Structure 1
Amino acid sequence: MFSRSAASVPRAGTLRLATKLQGKRLYSISKARRSYDDTIQNLKIGEHTRVIYQGFTGRVATINAQESLNYGTNIVGGVTPGKDGEHLGKPVLPTVRAAKEQLKPDATAIYVAAQHAAKAIEEAIEAEIPLIVAVAEHIPLHDILRITSILNTQSKSRFVGANAPGIISPIGKCRIGFQPLPTFSPGHIGIVAKSGTLSYETVASITRSGLGQSLCIGMGGDVVAGTSLVDALKVFETDPDTEGIVLVGEVGGRAEEEAAEWIRDYRKRVKQPKPIAALVGGRTAPVGRIMGHAGAWAAPGENLAEDKYKIIQDAGATMVDHPEKFGGVMKTLLSQAGKDVGKIVSHAQSVNQSRSMHTMRRVRPSTQRTYHPAQAADQRRSLHIQGQQAVDLLKPALRDISISNDPPQATDSYYLSITVDRSARQPCILVSPTTDPSTTHKRMRRIPYDYQRGPTQDDIASAIRHLQIDAAPPLAHAQTASLITTLASFYKTHEAITLTTDLTITSSGSLHLSTPRLHFDDAAYKSTKRQASIHALRDTGLEEAVEVEAERHGIVFVKLHAGDASASIGTLVNGAGLAMNTVDALSLPPHEGKCANFLDTGGKATSETVKKSFELILRDERVKVIFVNIFGGLTDCGMIAEGVIMAFNEVDMRGIPVVVRLRGTNEEVGQRKIAESGLELEAFDGFQEAATRVVELANAKR
């Protein structure tokens, strides 16, 4: 029997509230303390980890807490502002500070709405809770940037999230998050993932293999994450319960590249390194589009997913193209590493392995790319403003600098952006001495700066030197320094994600801005109603009508390969990561099909959203076959089957064949409903079989 004790979790110390500036709380640490990196080991949760809930008496928190208590999680109480008493047989306290003093928690699960999450996280940091897990989606980016600026000043609290399924130790029976418990089983594989649905399918594969999981960490799909892939890898390296490691990345950010650097170094310095298998979703994602998750897009200067896949592979990890392969691959890698796989499997607990995870019966009726700044115009899911609208928005802030929507006229032009450095968890100045598409990416430099203070004079001087305009006429030099300060202020005030422009120096020696591209955080408006004037600038008439309608129904729809008649496969998937990977797996060898769309019904799809998804897919005349690929983690496969049947009964399917793959929660119920429907559906349990059949049908319709 393996277990985790709280002894490995550092106890909280005392964090001093240093000062208040303009209503923002800033924190400082004593000389004896070091950095946020010192909190990585707080991720080692287990059966004795003392957990509290913030928002404890809320409906969602209550349901989740009861499930986690039944699982074995050591929940010691919770917090609801203004309340004292008892809930679920546990104490309720009015503040996090009071809960810290009376309940001595090692971790907190934050179950409050996105608009209140930042305040709840700050309270947990101020109380020095060692592990803070925030699962809410749509927390505004600038709230998280403020949070991370606070985290960077202390060494007591570790943050997981936001927009993450959380963290779970099956071997220690401790869940802090909303992971689907029947999918997990105690064992010896550590898993870190950006995507929730991809992680659930990964976990299911590891469970079916008998290896089970030691610790699973959800990095989350937001632009800025409190815990990175490398942070998790460091935990797995020293964890005696972890025999092998699985890493699941996706398009967006540099976390996968940093993980590759860590893997390469790890394999050099350790005589018998733990085997590592990996997957990267979004390898075929269109450049410049947000693929479901807020952070699933390649920012200026970032490699695309296909390049990240190769970088991790070159570092020594074994790559897979679909998560259902992880179980078999990991058993092979452990065997090759000289591990006794049979012994590892026998150690793994089997209590959850048979619950809703049976192999299903198949039913067949008789019948190195990189992102270039110029491609940002394709961004649709967040608010992206360019052209004259962007010029008009910037002009009031740039009174002394000329600006136009015309492309640069001079031979020499310079690239300047204020954006997010996801690795530093800070905003940054991003500069390149050229806007030539063939070299801009290679010559870019990021200069991170503190979110609260803004860029320093040294930061600005470094940017100007890299732009190679430090010898420019005094007026242009001074205007560039002023421009960086102004854009950084505009960035924070208007809650932007990326502000980008091209610079030229006129014959009179002054600075001129060309073709500004402004990308704003839609969560700031949707969650908190901030930035209403910015949000009002959105012109949905310029967007794909089907994508706008999908958004109104909580569905993320991206039209792919517009104008290409060979893109004939419609996809319907629950979860952004799984949807990306589904398109990848269908499009890449060995299947080599071509998808007409990316469609994420959301992690909690309903029969109604499934029906609506069919309607949206069928508006594309190119579609010749539809692939429904559902992993029932949080989604009930029986309910999805009802949605598929409803669509067949109420939607004109145009005689288009449908291939259905249902896996996970109540998979047998869903399969039975499909089989007994009498409809012309083809149902599979394995992804490879289903994908082969989908492409076969698509090719036959050409």
Structure 2
Amino acid sequence: MASMRGGQAVRQSHIKLQQLSRHSRRQFSSSPTSRGYQDTVQNLRIGKHTRVIYQGFTGRVATSNARDSIAYGTNIVGGVTPGKEGEHLGLPLLPDLRKAKEQLKPDATAVFVAAPQCGKAIEDAIEAEIPLIVAVAEHIPLHDIMRVTSILKTQSKSRLVGANAPGIIAPIGFCRIGFQPLPTFAPGHIGIVAKSGTLSYEAVASVTRAGLGQSLCIGMGGDIIAGTNIVDGLKVFEQDPETEGMIIVGEVGGRAEEDAAEWIKDYFRRTSKPKPIAALVGGIYAPGGRIMGHAGAWAARGEHTAAEKYKILQDAGATMVDHPEKFGGVMKTLLSQSGRDVSKITGNPADQKRGYHTAKRRGPMVHSTRPSTLFQRQQQSRKLHLRAEQAPQVLKPYLENLEGVTLTQDAAPPDAFYVGLTVDRTERQPCIRTSSTTDVKTFRETAKRFPFDQRSPPSDSLIASSISHINAPSSSTKPLTALISALAKMYTEKEAVTISSSVSISSTGQLQLHTPSMVLQFDDSAYRSNARHEDIHSLRQKSKEQPEEVEAETSGIVFIKLTNPEANIGTLVNGAGLAMNTIDALRNHGGHATNFLDTGGKATSETVKKSFELILKDERVKVIFVNIFGGLTDGGMIAEGILLAFREVEMRGVPVVVRIRGTNEEVGQRTIAESGLDLEAFDGFEEAAKRVVEIAGGGK
């Protein structure tokens, strides 16, 4: 396209950006360069000693959360709200983190700042060298987080948990930094690291019921990139003398579970008496190519499926379960089999040796379940996928001056290769991804990632390495260099998640991008949270999407219609991880779900009513299964929402089976049982699932 001068101009502009970026980067730590981010993993070992502050301290959500955490026993020493100084909740209120660091000497900060400003708030905490930073907000733009993780890798003082995570809690030390439902937790000796909030609460409840309790629970979060991953959690559990067993809660998307499997294999090889490990992976039956509620719950091309990750963890030595309700019993068995005295492990943790864990709660704790704009989805996050026919319109500004590069509507030939820009979740960075083939069967083995710092364009040497991996003719090196550089520029400027295409070389030596193979995926949060890139997001074609899914989105619900013709069970679940696992567990009992439905972490009565309306649009539905774990969601309120649906929605005789656990579960179960409606209430998942499948099969 046009002259090679255009390609040179693109490279020159990138070189200038590199130079500017190098000179303008903020220095975030005075720590020695020989150390790195991995040295901060032990900052996760919170307890009674941990001095906690809040960013956004005077906000409504932070205030409510702080009251609960103080009542629980967390050592909160004050907080920061820009431009304000004095007292809040009887604690020091300071105008900036510099003063807070000097006067309050915090070990951790709870970042209760909304998504548009959260990236900057995390950067401020890194600059202040706060040892532990916990970010809970949803919808932080991906490129904001990649910038944060680039900064984190340059220092060895601060550790990030999140974003889009419930946080971290040490029940054995009554220290909560996040919004976990406190009544579910109990002091004990099982460490839990999880992607999903609701699945982790289920795991916690099971472990609590088994009498084991928890030593430390780490919410990795459901975003594409996490500041702390599963391996980080396992490293802490290994070293923690209070932790006797470990639990992993994974799900579809990314490589965190595979990285954990490698760590587990090494751990079992080098340890004479390893702590037992149990695990679950949600999304075994998730449809390919769909985002399952969490921003990161999707498998990129060539990544292992949830079912494959389940097998990988199992082969590494983890004991797998298909539902978190089973963790407690399984862990008791594993502890006994490992030669540990379960009676001592289930004893009073106040007798244990870590002194700062023995303090008792200060006063009554009132757990708030009110919805908040910080946690509740106003509209569910989704990544914008543009259609192949839209590719020329979007790519034209970046490719129009590149010589030797053309777009074609033709399908890719067998000898085509793969070029893309995407996310390396393990390295927490953007990356060039190339492969010498586009063949699905061998792509996983042939594709390679080349990560780079989000704050700078990829270097010439990195681009050269990615091209070398393709094994393309030397005559194609210059146009490939210009192409990758242009795509990288577009990737950063438009805040993409993935830009990729099959590429071939024509008989005349031209590079051809085959638009039918193109993936153009952009970060929805950059638009919704920060109103960036309206030109890209205005291209969304809702008229070509599933109508129920679009309708659900306006109510803050993630709804995905499943196409299995055998399906006849509608599902209504709070939390993406729990919704995925509900579909999986029903399949294990012989049932088939018609839909995935995540009401969000803070479902309301109106949300429940709307969910029933969406489910009942599908004529296949013979029974509805409501599976609620009341973490942030109140079980009594959910029950009222179900009764509201029965009063105001045409149920067309479809029976409903309800399983409510967690916050106010007794109230919810009693409300259902006493309603006199065609409802059945259960406490345990197994019996509820069996009943649902029985009804779906024609029983009554």
TM-score of the alignment, normalized to the shorter chain, above 0.5: yes
Normalising by structure 1, report the TM-score. 0.91
Which secondary structure does the structure 2 equivalent of 1:346 belong to? Answer: coil
- Report the alpha carbon displacement of residue 466 of structure 1 after superposing the two structures with TM: 1.0
Normalising by structure 2, report the TM-score. 0.91
Alignment-derived partner of residue 579 in structure 1: 579
- Report the alpha carbon displacement of residue 19 of structure 1 after superposing the two structures with TM: 9.6
Q: Distance in 2 between matches of 1:380 and 1:213?
A: 31
Alignment-derived partner of residue 686 in structure 2: 688
Indicate which of 554, 557, 563 corresponds to 1:555.
557
Which secondary structure does the structure 2 equivalent of 1:155 belong to? Answer: coil
Q: Distance in 1 between matches of 2:90 and 2:509?
A: 73
Alignment-derived partner of residue 695 in structure 2: 697
Which structure is higher in RCO with an 8 Å CA cutoff and minimum separation 6? 2
- Report the alpha carbon displacement of residue 29 of structure 1 after superposing the two structures with TM: 5.2
Q: Distance in 2 between matches of 1:658 and 1:394?
A: 49
Residues 1:190 and 1:575: Cα distance change in structure 2 (over 3 Å): same
Q: Give the letter for the 2:448 counterpart.
A: R
- Report the alpha carbon displacement of residue 115 of structure 1 after superposing the two structures with TM: 0.3
- Report the alpha carbon displacement of residue 505 of structure 1 after superposing the two structures with TM: 0.6
Alignment-derived partner of residue 453 in structure 1: 456
Which secondary structure does the structure 1 equivalent of 2:671 belong to? Answer: helix
Q: Distance in 1 between matches of 2:112 and 2:615?
A: 34
* 1:648-700 deviation digits (Å, cap 9, x = unpaired): 11111110111000001101101111111110111111101011111111111
Residues 1:262 and 1:288: Cα distance change in structure 2 (over 3 Å): same
- Report the alpha carbon displacement of residue 26 of structure 1 after superposing the two structures with TM: 5.2
Residues 1:20 and 1:508: Cα distance change in structure 2 (over 3 Å): closer
Q: Distance in 1 between matches of 2:582 and 2:558?
A: 15
Q: Is the 8 A contact 2:139 2:381 kept in 1?
A: no
* 1:311-331 deviation digits (Å, cap 9, x = unpaired): 000000100000000000000
Alignment-derived partner of residue 495 in structure 1: 495
Q: Is the 8 A contact 2:385 2:521 kept in 1?
A: yes
Residues 1:92 and 1:396: Cα distance change in structure 2 (over 3 Å): same
Residues 1:19 and 1:468: Cα distance change in structure 2 (over 3 Å): closer
Q: Give the letter for the 1:508 counterpart.
A: T
Alignment-derived partner of residue 212 in structure 1: 213
Q: Give the letter for the 1:538 counterpart.
A: R
Q: Is the 8 A contact 2:231 2:260 kept in 1?
A: yes
* 1:466-492 deviation digits (Å, cap 9, x = unpaired): 1111x34x2x22110111111111100
* Greater Cα offset, 160-169 or 457-466: 457-466
Counting only pairs closer than 5 Å after superposition, residues 532-543 of structure 1 correspond to structure 2 as: 532-543=534-545
Q: Is the 8 A contact 1:380 1:543 kept in 2?
A: no
Answering whether residue 659 of structure 2 is matched by residue 657 of structure 1, we say: no
Alignment-derived partner of residue 528 in structure 1: 530
Answering whether residue 284 of structure 2 is matched by residue 283 of structure 1, we say: yes
Q: Distance in 1 between matches of 2:264 and 2:405?
A: 48
Q: Give the letter for the 2:219 counterpart.
A: G
Q: Give the letter for the 1:404 counterpart.
A: L
- Report the alpha carbon displacement of residue 84 of structure 1 after superposing the two structures with TM: 0.6
Which secondary structure does the structure 2 equivalent of 1:420 belong to? Answer: strand
- Report the alpha carbon displacement of residue 395 of structure 1 after superposing the two structures with TM: 1.4
Q: Is the 8 A contact 1:637 1:666 kept in 2?
A: yes
Which secondary structure does the structure 2 equivalent of 1:439 belong to? Answer: helix
Alignment-derived partner of residue 603 in structure 2: 605
Q: Is the 8 A contact 1:632 1:667 kept in 2?
A: yes
Answering whether residue 100 of structure 2 is matched by residue 102 of structure 1, we say: no
Q: Distance in 1 between matches of 2:412 and 2:339?
A: 63
Q: Distance in 1 between matches of 2:28 and 2:662?
A: 44
Alignment-derived partner of residue 373 in structure 2: none
- Report the alpha carbon displacement of residue 301 of structure 1 after superposing the two structures with TM: 2.1
Q: Distance in 2 between matches of 1:460 and 1:96?
A: 39
Q: Is the 8 A contact 1:184 1:207 kept in 2?
A: yes
Q: Give the letter for the 1:387 counterpart.
A: A
Residues 1:76 and 1:294: Cα distance change in structure 2 (over 3 Å): same
* 1:384-411 deviation digits (Å, cap 9, x = unpaired): 0132211211012112254435234544
Q: Distance in 2 between matches of 1:234 and 1:517?
A: 36
Q: Give the letter for the 2:232 counterpart.
A: D
Alignment-derived partner of residue 249 in structure 2: 248
Answering whether residue 512 of structure 2 is matched by residue 512 of structure 1, we say: yes
Which secondary structure does the structure 2 equivalent of 1:215 belong to? Answer: strand
- Report the alpha carbon displacement of residue 458 of structure 1 after superposing the two structures with TM: 1.7
Residues 1:381 and 1:407: Cα distance change in structure 2 (over 3 Å): farther
Alignment-derived partner of residue 161 in structure 1: 162
Counting only pairs closer than 5 Å after superposition, residues 12-31 of structure 1 correspond to structure 2 as: 25=26, 27=28, 31=32
Residues 1:20 and 1:82: Cα distance change in structure 2 (over 3 Å): farther
Q: Is the 8 A contact 2:57 2:81 kept in 1?
A: yes
Which secondary structure does the structure 2 equivalent of 1:332 belong to? Answer: helix
Alignment-derived partner of residue 565 in structure 1: 565
Residues 1:487 and 1:241: Cα distance change in structure 2 (over 3 Å): same
Q: Is the 8 A contact 1:417 1:430 kept in 2?
A: yes
Alignment-derived partner of residue 61 in structure 1: 62
Alignment-derived partner of residue 372 in structure 2: none
Q: Give the letter for the 1:333 counterpart.
A: L
* Greater Cα offset, 504-513 or 87-96: 504-513
Which secondary structure does the structure 1 equivalent of 2:697 belong to? Answer: helix
Q: Distance in 2 between matches of 1:325 and 1:347?
A: 23
Indicate which of 613, 630, 640 corresponds to 1:632.
630
Alignment-derived partner of residue 440 in structure 1: 443
Residues 1:490 and 1:689: Cα distance change in structure 2 (over 3 Å): same
- Report the alpha carbon displacement of residue 231 of structure 1 after superposing the two structures with TM: 0.4
Which secondary structure does the structure 2 equivalent of 1:124 belong to? Answer: helix
Alignment-derived partner of residue 123 in structure 2: 122
Q: Is the 8 A contact 2:37 2:154 kept in 1?
A: yes
Alignment-derived partner of residue 238 in structure 2: 237
* 1:359-393 deviation digits (Å, cap 9, x = unpaired): xxxxxxxxxxxxxxxxxxxx993100132211211
Q: Distance in 2 between matches of 1:627 and 1:46?
A: 39
Q: Give the letter for the 2:548 counterpart.
A: V
Q: Distance in 1 between matches of 2:534 and 2:610?
A: 29
Q: Give the letter for the 2:551 counterpart.
A: E
Q: Is the 8 A contact 1:624 1:701 kept in 2?
A: no
Residues 1:614 and 1:395: Cα distance change in structure 2 (over 3 Å): same
Q: Distance in 2 between matches of 1:701 and 1:253?
A: 40
* Greater Cα offset, 390-399 or 538-547: 390-399
Which secondary structure does the structure 1 equivalent of 2:120 belong to? Answer: helix
Q: Is the 8 A contact 2:184 2:662 kept in 1?
A: yes
Residues 1:487 and 1:648: Cα distance change in structure 2 (over 3 Å): same
* Greater Cα offset, 291-300 or 404-413: 404-413
- Report the alpha carbon displacement of residue 31 of structure 1 after superposing the two structures with TM: 4.3
- Report the alpha carbon displacement of residue 513 of structure 1 after superposing the two structures with TM: 0.9
- Report the alpha carbon displacement of residue 306 of structure 1 after superposing the two structures with TM: 0.3
Q: Is the 8 A contact 2:113 2:137 kept in 1?
A: yes
Residues 1:409 and 1:646: Cα distance change in structure 2 (over 3 Å): closer
Q: Give aligned pairs, total.
A: 654
Q: Give the letter for the 1:413 counterpart.
A: A
Alignment-derived partner of residue 341 in structure 2: 340
Q: Distance in 1 between matches of 2:66 and 2:653?
A: 46
Q: Is the 8 A contact 1:39 1:158 kept in 2?
A: yes
Q: Distance in 1 between matches of 2:33 and 2:520?
A: 42
Q: Give the letter for the 1:464 counterpart.
A: I
Q: Distance in 2 between matches of 1:602 and 1:111?
A: 19
- Report the alpha carbon displacement of residue 30 of structure 1 after superposing the two structures with TM: 5.4
Q: Give the letter for the 2:530 counterpart.
A: T
Which secondary structure does the structure 2 equivalent of 1:431 belong to? Answer: strand
Alignment-derived partner of residue 5 in structure 1: none
Q: Distance in 1 between matches of 2:608 and 2:578?
A: 16
Residues 1:19 and 1:536: Cα distance change in structure 2 (over 3 Å): closer
Q: Distance in 1 between matches of 2:20 and 2:388?
A: 42
Alignment-derived partner of residue 303 in structure 2: 302
Counting only pairs closer than 5 Å after superposition, residues 50-449 of structure 1 correspond to structure 2 as: 50-348=51-349, 381-399=382-400, 400=402, 401-404=404-407, 406-408=409-411, 410-449=413-452
Which secondary structure does the structure 2 equivalent of 1:25 belong to? Answer: coil
Q: Distance in 1 between matches of 2:163 and 2:529?
A: 14
Q: Is the 8 A contact 2:657 2:680 kept in 1?
A: yes
Q: Is the 8 A contact 2:252 2:305 kept in 1?
A: yes
Q: Distance in 2 between matches of 1:409 and 1:79?
A: 55
Residues 1:151 and 1:260: Cα distance change in structure 2 (over 3 Å): same
